[in-house]
Structure 1
Amino acid sequence: MSETVRTPRSIGVFCGARPGSGPRHAELAYDFGAALGARGLGLVYGAGGVGVMGAVADGAIDAGAPVTGVIPHDLHERERPDKARGEIFVVRGMHDRKALMYRLSEAFAVLPGGYGTLDELMEVATWNQLGFHDKPIVLVNTHGFFDPLIALLDHLVAEGFMSAHDRELVQAGTDVGECLDLITLNEPAALAG
């Protein structure tokens, strides 16, 4: 008799390899990772073993979630590979990293980070807009971290550079539970499993 093994649903998390100012960003990341495990979801992340990135992986691992990290060869040494958690894929470059993360993820959450985090967010939002995929995206806007970005997105609508429909591709929540609810309530059929 053959047994069907169900692959866990995985959430791609974009976030910084730096800890940010004060402990609240790493604490949020740890809580987000732990909440993924509590909901039976897996984590796909950038495989950095430090900062917000390391904290989200630690939370997920501690909660029993499957964790997959994807990192470019050039960053592998810089972002503490000895502290990276989960199954780690080392790829040639940033484009390969993003492509594999997008393929492995069924939805995306964005935690505090810098240029790389914003780049990944904008790319997956653009892919949704162009119909390359249909995957929920949520900003984890605890402590108002993403308020300026949310205001910019709304400004783009007001100035006619983005439709209201396209603006809705990026949701925002104020706490971990609300953000995970937004991902699962707005999930496409692939995540509804």
Structure 2
Amino acid sequence: MNITVFCSANDLDERYTVPAREFARTLGERGHTLVWGGSDAGLMGVVADEAKAAGAKLVGIMVELLAHKAYQGADELVSTADLAERKAQLLARADALVVLVGGVGTLDEVTEVLELKKHGLHDKPVVLLDTDGFYDGLRTQLRRMEQEGFLPRPLDELVRFAPDGATALRYAEEALDGEVSASA
């Protein structure tokens, strides 16, 4: 399975890097492919290193503006002209999407894939790895949107929140297994 990961390119505290490493190691051990922003910087580099060490194939989708931060050990590295094209490629290559901790760029990526899913433009599983309660505020806001009628479908159909990396992968795998069973 191709798992697109959105996350920070910043160097972060161990409370964020340790769970990210565990997630990436599990991803590789389960034979999945990591599709990510293609950077060797910060958490992106940590996730790529760990996934590769655990046997994962790495597909980086890199924006030309950040080519100087390209991960040199990727099995495939795709260059895009801009961030919009990069987001489109990250979604197109995904069987499932897992969101680790990140800043404004990560928030932009996750809100775009949720908006597209809300409109039925994809139905790929989206899972947020809620390390140390990082996404508690977003979960609260999304629940309010659901309760007040801003979401045309139930929140748990749009996104799942996972307390750890193994659970995040399980949610993605179960969602995809359900699609295979439903179409069989």
Do both proteins adopt the same fold according to a TM-score greater than 0.5, normalized to the shorter chain? yes
Q: 1:23 corresponds to which residue? A: 14
Alignment of 1:184 onto 2:173: yes
Where 1:68 maps in the other structure, the secondary structure is strand
Q: Give 1:86 deviation, angstroms.
A: 3.7
Which structure is higher in helix share?
2
Where 2:142 maps in the other structure, the secondary structure is helix
Which runs of no fewer than 5 residues in structure 2 stay unpaired?
A: none
Q: 1:63 corresponds to which residue? A: 54
CA gap of 1:136–1:173, structure 2 versus 1, over 3 A, is same
Q: Equivalents in 1 of 2:85, 2:153: separation in Å?
A: 31
Q: Which moved more, 1:165-174 or 1:51-60?
A: 165-174
Residue type of the partner of 1:89?
A: V
CA gap of 1:108–1:82, structure 2 versus 1, over 3 A, is closer
Q: CA RMSD of the aligned region, Å? A: 2.0
Q: Give 1:19 deviation, angstroms.
A: 2.2
Q: Give 1:88 deviation, angstroms.
A: 1.2
CA gap of 1:50–1:169, structure 2 versus 1, over 3 A, is same
8 Å contact kept, 2:15–2:132: no
Q: Which runs of 4+ in 1 moved over 2 A?
A: 80-86
**Residue correspondences, number:** 181
8 Å contact kept, 1:138–1:183: yes
Residue type of the partner of 1:50?
A: A
CA gap of 1:167–1:181, structure 2 versus 1, over 3 A, is closer
Q: 1:74 corresponds to which residue? A: 65
Which runs of no fewer than 5 residues in structure 1 stay unpaired?
A: 1-8
Which of the residues 126, 145, 161 maps onto 1:172? 161
